[in-house]
Amino acid sequence: MTMPASVSDPRPSSAAARTAASANGTTRSIMRGLIWRERQLHGSLVDAYVAIWVIGIWALRLIDHPAVLALFGFLLAAQLGSRLGSSEWKEGAEEFLFALPPTRRQRFWIRGAAGLVPVVLLTGLGAAALAWNRPAELWSLFSDGPFCEPTPPQAVSTWLAVFALSIAIYAISYSVHAALPRKGGQSAIVVVTMVLVLSLPVLVHIGTTGELLAEMHLHVDITRLLVALIVTVLVPLIAVQRFARRAPAALS
């Protein structure tokens, strides 16, 4: 018995819907698995920096200047990016892990995003808290001591530049270590060079005062923001191409 021409068979669309649902479920499972693995491997490092962030910004107010926050962001971004980018080939597990369902591109982007989140949260929230004197306001609820003194005023663009710098350093560190396995010297040279190019102008410029320099201050900070944005986008896009094509480190 044939079906009327006006009635369509629902079975192909149902099969396609089931296939799409299965693919979506597989992708979510892959993402959860990769994030869980990175949390197990590197969670203690993130927890240590969270403790430093709480104590340094809110408890003892040791981090109360853009230069100090830039140093904190640099250490966090460089160390976390290095560990996330190199953990698999340092373990000698790339040959096995590359054979698992996640594609190399999925593995690169998901692992990178897992490390980017704490960098963004800690440096971004830290910059916002210091820019609006939230630690001083919190201490003023309990005492009138030196911890209640406001953070030295800085241009908002300076805090944004420090925040963008941390993200750019993370992108460089993670991308270089993921794309260039077992080349520690080469990785170190590339990372140090790019970090110096990005950080030295920021650290030299921080603390500049005077009305005559205000306009230049803004232009320099905007330039830094643009450079950091370009680096943050461009370096991972280049590195993922290398990561997707190279042989596992165990076979290199």
42-51, 81-90, 167-176, 231-240, range with the lowest pLDDT: 81-90
Does residue 11 sit within a domain? no
Does residue 115 sit within a domain? yes
A 10 A CB-CB count for 146 gives 8
Does residue 40 sit within a domain? yes
Mean pLDDT of 9-31: 57
- Whether 116 shows a pLDDT value over 90: the answer reads yes
Q: Tens digit of pLDDT for each residue in 128-176?
A: 999 999 998 888 888 887 778 888 888 788 898 889 889 999 999 899 8
Residue predicted with more confidence, 92 or 11: 92
Q: What are phi and psi of 92, to 5 degrees?
A: 70, 25
Mean pLDDT of 176-205: 66
Q: Tens digit of pLDDT for each residue in 220-232?
A: 667 777 778 888 8
- Whether 109 shows a pLDDT value over 80: the answer reads yes
Q: How many domains is the chain built from?
A: 1
Does residue 2 sit within a domain? no
Does residue 240 sit within a domain? yes
DSSP string, 124-190: HHHHHHHHTTHHHHHHHTT--SGGGSPPPP--HHHHHHHHHHHHHHHHHHHHHHHHSTT-HHHHHHH
Q: Which domain holds residue 76?
A: 16-251
Nearest alpha carbon to residue 181 among 118, 114, 72, 104: 104
Q: Please report, as a single letter, which amino acid is at residue 222.
A: I
